[in-house]
Amino acid sequence: MKVSYNWLKEYIDITLDPGKLAHLLTMAGVNVASWHRIEGDYIFEFEITANRPDCLSIIGIAREISAVLEKKLKVPKEIQKGRKIKLTNKENLPISVKIKDPDLCYRYSARIIKDVEVKESPDWLKERIISAGLRPVNNIVDITNFVLFETGQPMHAFDLDKIKGDILIRRAKKGEKIIGIDSVPRACDEDMLLIADSENPIAIAGVMGGLDTEVGNMTKNILLESAFFNPISVRRTSRTLGLSSESSYRFERKIDNGMVLKASERVSDLIDMIAGGKKGPIIDIGNKKSYSKSITLNLQKCESLLGVSVTKKKASKILKSLEFDINEKKGSIRAIVPSFREDVKNEIDLTEEIARIYGYEKIPLTIPRIVGNTSIKDFSDVVEDKIKQILTRLGLKEIITYSLINKNRINGLGIKDDIVVALKNPLSIDQEIMRPTLLPGMLGVISYNLNRRAKHLSLFEIGKMYTEKKHSYQEEVVLSLGLAGIKRETWKVQKEEFDFFDVKGIFETLLGELGLDKIFFKRDKAERFNSDVSAAIEYEGEIIARLGEVNKKILGSFDIEKKVFYGELYIRKILKKINLNKRYLVLGRYPSVTRDISVVAEKKVTSSAITDIINDIGKALVKNVDLIDCYKGKQISQEKRGLLYRIEYRSDERTLEDAEVDKLHTLIKDALTQKLGISFR
Amino acid sequence: MEEKIKEIKTSFQEELKNANDGNSLESIRIKYLGRKGLISELMGKLPTLSADKKPQAGRELNILKTQIQKELEKKKSELKDISLDKKDTIDITMPGVLPEEGKLHPITKTCNEINDIFISLGFRIAEGPEIEKEFYNFEALNIPLEHPSRDAFDTFYIKGDTLLRSHTSTVQIRIMEKTQPPIQAIMPGKVYRPDAVDASHSFMFHQVEGLLVDKGVRFSDLKGVLDLFTKRMFGERTKTRFRPSFFPFTEPSAEVDISCIICKGKGCRVCSHTGWLEILGAGMVNPKVFEAVGYSPSKYTGFAFGMGVERIAMLKYGIDDIRLFFENDIRFLKQF
């Protein structure tokens, strides 16, 4: 809201530097976002919070200044406290006014003003209107706007002679049309409130007047509306029509019912003065009761909430300056809330009023007692931290991608539509669903970086995937891992690309560190992966992770030409199995003996089948089996491959004799030949 | 005889000093210790000595022999070290081979830093769902339906009254529903708002919410805790400023500003020449919120606060575009 410094000075004596004033008001909760100089004046730009509609007026702001600077507020006689306006009997009004829907229109007042001379406003008035950010129209419209800004009460002047028959305040009929003063025709619905004459709607209540009854140069007599409309109704209408006005903004936030007639009176007097119109009869129907509440403030409570002692004298003074009626009692203050402060409903609201005018900066800094939590984090958080720690140690970089993605991004991943959580009001199709997997986010980042010529990409994300199952929503934390490009390339080592065994190795290390030792890698079919390079990790009979090479078609939809190796770990499934406690194992005291074993096996014979036999036969004496080399080529037939294992034999009880190792080694070889048809090189 | 021994000693020392390779060492060895060397020669002359001088001279000759042997060995290993250095010289200016460095995302790092500060002040960490019911996002927090106070909380909806939380204050309600006071917790997490993406807006971002509920918690405690937090986060010279504001779920409410960390309060582009940066919203828990979760407002008081993690990370690292956090350019990620 724009407020002119000169205008403010009409209601309060201030000579303060505008910067200082802006600061003082901001520190009292009336936020000045900015201020600037114009010719002969300064304009403040206020940001008024939703709870303070009383500050959406020059007088409201002046009142705050009077409280902060402890200066007297001067207001025009029409709107002074306790001012009574003489009403006319209904019969004396030439047209009848009726409220058909009192749930949407709480109160309606109409006054007739005759023989106005519509013309350009005087300069001082035009200046005021411009300072508030509006365009001057004519003296009548400008006066209603002037008083709107002055008091916060929106009003509308109709051309009385263009109103056909009587006035009825009613809900619109479905599709009923009205052309506003902006010349735009709009169709209404049954939730909207209209001001209608006997034939047509003449205004959208609280939002905009109609073109047909607009005050123009030819207007002689006017009907001045000052009303109190249902805030929710005005808000809905304004939102549905996409039409917001100075009036609707104030009605939405609730106007002061105590100002309805006073503001009307103020407009009438100004019209008399500026446009020569004669005040005619006024009627006022509906709820005339304005907000009022009596609240007791316990000063001890106030002190123990704020952590500072404010004297009764000071507290009373603050409340009085904000126009509360005060009655001091022993240890407490009884305050009657003025009609324009409906936000003040109870003791805590009074405490806040005192605190903000007293000054937050005068409240000391203290430290509360510590509650004493016995645990700092849930185990799942501890595990997440641990995983991040392990993966960064392994050289991976963490990414964070959007949880909202384009629906097309999950095409071809084998995800059923009915588990996908979709937004009702997405901003764009790129954010229409919640991700049911972290793969699209990962591929998006890989594509983005490859396009920027990144060579080495080893990334992970820990985040939620979202699904719907029978109207219940699931948020499951998963780990996603993506590798692409060159694993390493230096002047010392030959260029090496990432492959499946890099993702596998990361998973093995990670799960080992999490205390899950008996994991099994199984060949797996997942739509997202190249069927040949796809695996699942099983732990205690349950699949806890999937990994593989992302298939070409999916990569194509992300414009990725390089191979991408990806894995997802379903952390929730292993949470109860994770053991982060480390136990020391006794170091072997006796020397170990290593023997290499070079096997030639059919290609279908798996490495784990071989190592299983080695471990099985070797029992406790085989401490370690490493695969040293794997070769296919000229020296062996096409259906076979050669594998070189290095076996470490060691006993925990004694030094092994060569002969004993030789014997065991031969037993292992025999078993391999017998069970897997393996030969040796 | 004695003189001869002395002579040999001196000449040996002289020659040893000048020897600088294996060959010259070998010729020295042959000259002194060889079968026809100087020591053997003197040994041969021992029988010609008188009986009283013989044992003495024999001993001295032996000592000399051992000494020469030792010194030759010593020199030999010295020369070896030098020659090794010479043979395998490396070019130390060639680039070092670096292991690939893992990195945490700057949002994670910032969030960890915030968490750690509050943990040190006695807070624990709690979490809640992102897919929420309207009740937790609004009503329980004293934000009535169709009220202008909802304007600040534009929200993504899923179905019916199910929505994506637009702030982490939802978790306050969830904790209070589950536990009785005292409560001292922070609640980090993702939140969503239908904002068009630009350099300073994102439809998804991270918040950290804080809550302390106990008997006798005061506004001054809120000030003390947040002042301590900002000093630990941004440096001990950081000043805080509490401005009255409005949040439906706190009363009194405050916006918390810190003195601009770029210009130290003098005024610059980052702080729009005000010298202050807004980084936190806070206040005393509104008694209506306590009523919504079944706490007695006459028994307990408390404070709550919330901050945007991206905002703090941007200030801390001097990042001027929020989109960088979600683009995940590795040239960006490498820097933290």
CB A26 to CB B243 under 8 A? yes
pLDDT at B31: 86
Contact map slice: A 221-260 vs B, CB within 8 A? 231-232, 235-236, 252-253
Distance CA A598, CA A635 (A): 13
Q: Does A472 touch chain B (CB under 8 A)?
A: no
Kindly state whether residues B240 and B150 are assigned to the same domain: yes
Q: What value does the CA radius of gyration of chain B take, rounded to a whole number of Å?
A: 41
Nearest CA in chain A to B212: A371
Our count of domains for chain B comes to: 2
CB atoms under 10 Å from CB of A623, counted, come to 16
The pLDDT of residue B184 is: 97
The answer to whether B24 faces chain A, any CB pair under 8 Å, is no
Chain-centre distance of CA A252, in angstroms?
22
For the stretch A43-47, contacts whose Cβ atoms lie closer than 8 Å and that sit 24 or more positions apart, written own/partner, are A43/A2, A43/A3, A43/A4, A43/A5, A43/A131, A44/A2, A44/A3, A44/A4, A44/A5, A44/A18, A45/A1, A45/A2, A46/A1, A46/A2, A46/A3
Determine, yes or no, domain membership for B18: yes
- Strand-pair category, B124-125 with B183-192: parallel
Taking all residues of chain A, what is their mean pLDDT, rounded to a whole number? 94
Q: By the 8 A CB rule, do A519 and A538 touch?
A: yes
What is the tens place of the pLDDT at every residue in A609-634?
A: 999 999 999 988 999 999 999 988 88
| 3-class SS of residue B238 | coil
Does one domain contain both B191 and B297? yes
Please, which residues 77-106 of chain B have a Cβ atom closer than 8 Å to chain A? 94-95, 97, 99-105
Domain definitions of chain A by residue range: 2-75, 90-286, 293-362, 379-574, 593-680
Task: Give me the CATH number covering residue B260.
Answer: 3.30.930.10
Distance CA B26, CA B112 (A): 69
Region A86-106 average pLDDT: 84
* Token duo for residue A486: 């060159």
Pairing of strands A97-99, A167-171: parallel
Same domain, B133 and B251: yes
ipTM attached to this prediction: 0.90
Q: What are phi and psi of A337, to 5 degrees?
A: -75, 135
Whether residue B110 lies within 8 A of chain A, CB to CB, comes out as no
**Does the pLDDT of residue A636 top 80, yes or no?**
yes
Question: What amino acid is encoded at A662 in this protein?
Answer: D
Whether B256 and B210 share a structural domain: yes
Residue A136: HSE in the Cβ half-sphere, 13 Å Cα cutoff? 17
- Say whether B194 and A424 touch across the interface (CB within 8 A): no
E strand or H helix at A552: helix A552-557
Nearest chain B residue to A305, by CA: B218
pLDDT at A588: 84
> B113 and chain A: CB distance < 8 Å anywhere?
no
Look at B220 and A366 and tell me if their CB atoms are within 8 Å: yes
Q: In what order do the strands lie in the sheet with B204-214?
A: B124-125, B183-192, B204-214, B301-308, B276-285, B250-259, B240-247
A400 CB neighbours in chain B (<8 A) are 105, 107-108, 325-326, 328
Distance from C-alpha of A219 to C-alpha of A199, rounded to nearest angstrom = 20
Q: Is the preceding peptide bond at B252 cis, omega within 30 degrees of 0?
A: yes
Which pLDDT value is given to residue B87?
A: 63
Digit-coded pLDDT (tens) for B298-329: 999 999 999 999 999 999 999 999 999 999 99
What local confidence, expressed as pLDDT, does residue A267 receive?
Answer: 96
For residue B98, tell me if it sits in a domain.
Answer: no
- As its CATH architecture, domain A90-286 has 3-Layer(bba) Sandwich (3.50)
In CATH terms, A293-362 corresponds, of 3.30.300.30, 3.90.1150.10, 3.30.56.10, 3.40.50.2000, to 3.30.56.10
**Which residues in chain B have their CB less than 8 angstroms from residue A396's CB?**
102
How many A/B residue pairs have CB atoms within 8 Å? 232
Q: Do the Cβ atoms of B216 and A304 come within 8 Å?
A: yes
B14 occurs within a structural domain:
yes
Distance from CA of A455 to the nearest CA of B (A): 10
Contact B119 A376 (CB under 8 A): yes
Q: B-contacting residues of A 368-407, CB under 8 Å?
A: 368-373, 375-378, 381, 388, 391-404
Which pLDDT belongs to residue A89?
64
Residue of B nearest to A31 (CA): B245
CB-based contact A171:A188 (threshold 8 Å)? no
Tens of pLDDT, residue by residue, chain B (336 residues): 778 888 888 888 888 888 888 788 888 888 888 888 888 888 888 888 888 888 888 888 888 888 888 888 888 888 777 765 566 688 889 899 888 899 999 999 999 999 999 999 999 999 999 999 999 999 999 998 777 777 767 899 999 999 999 999 999 999 999 999 999 999 999 999 999 999 999 999 999 999 999 999 999 999 999 999 999 999 999 999 999 999 999 999 999 999 998 888 888 888 888 899 999 999 999 999 999 999 999 999 999 999 999 999 999 999 999 999 999 999 999 999
Identify whether the C-beta of residue A400 lies closer than 8 Å to the C-beta of residue B149. no
Place of tokens 């005291």: A589
Task: Give the dihedral of Cα atoms B38, B43, B44, B46; nearest 10 deg.
Answer: 130
Q: Under an 8 A CB cutoff, do B220 and A253 touch?
A: no
Q: Closest residue of B to A423, CA-based?
A: B158
Residue-range definition of the domain harbouring residue B31: 2-87
Same domain, B111 and B74: no
Confidence category of residue A668, pLDDT binned at 50, 70, 90: very high
A22 Cβ partners below 8 Å, 6+ apart? A32, A35, A44
Interface of A with B in 440-459 (CB under 8 A): 445, 448-449, 452, 454, 456-459
Do A43 and A35 contact (CB within 8 A), yes or no? yes
Contact residues on chain B for A236, CB-CB shorter than 8 A: 146
Q: B134 and B62 in one domain?
A: no
Task: Indicate whether B246 and B299 sit together in one domain.
Answer: yes
In terms of domains, do B128 and B62 share one?
Answer: no
Same domain, B178 and B41: no
Q: Are strands A529-539 and A564-570 parallel, antiparallel or unpaired?
A: unpaired
Beta-carbon separation of B220 and A306 below 8 A: yes
SS3 at position B106: helix
H or E element in which residue A64 lies: helix A58-69
**Helices and strands in chain B, H and E counts:** 12, 10
* Chain A contacts in chain B segment 279-318 (CB below 8 A): 284, 286-287, 301
Tell me if chain B has a CB within 8 Å of the CB of A616: no
**Would the CB atoms of B328 and A396 count as touching at under 8 Å?**
no
Three-state secondary structure call for residue A367: coil
Q: How confident is the model at residue B84, as a pLDDT?
A: 59
**Residue A406, token pair as written in the block:** 């384009």
Is B243 close to A29, i.e. CB distance below 8 A?
yes
Q: What distance in Å separates the CA atoms of residue B111 and residue A590, rounded to the nearest whole number?
A: 49
Q: What top-level class would CATH report for the domain A379-574?
A: alpha beta
Quote the pTM value: 0.86
Do A2-75 and A293-362 agree at the fold level? yes
CB contact under 8 A, A363 and B325: no
Residue A595, classed as helix, strand or coil, is strand
Q: Residue A636: count other Cβ atoms within 10 Å of its Cβ.
A: 15
Nearest CA in chain B to A235: B146
Is B55 in the same domain as B118?
Answer: no
The whole-angstrom distance between B1's CA and the closest CA on chain A is: 58
Fold designation for A2-75:
Phenylalanyl-tRNA Synthetase; Chain B, domain 1 (3.30.56)
Gap between the Cα atoms of A448 and A456, Å rounded? 13
- Nearest-5° Cα angle at A334, A28 to A308: 45
pLDDT tens-digit readout, A371-388? 989 999 999 999 999 999
Contacts of A402 in chain B (CB under 8 A): 203-204, 326
pLDDT tens figures, A529-577: 998 999 999 999 999 999 999 999 999 999 999 999 999 999 999 999 9
For A74-83, what is each residue's pLDDT tens digit? 999 988 887 7
B153 and B64, same structural domain? no
- Whether a cis peptide bond, with omega within 30° of 0, leads into B182 is yes
Same domain, B114 and B11: no
**Contact indicator for A58, A73 with CB cutoff of 8 Å:** no
Minimum distance, in Å, between the CA of residue A446 and any CA atom of chain B:
9
If we measure between CA atoms, which residue out of A477, A240, A283 comes closest to residue A378? Answer: A477
Residue carrying structure tokens 């060159």: A486
CATH fold for the domain made of A593-680: Alpha-Beta Plaits (3.30.70)
* Beta-bridge partner residues of A34: A45
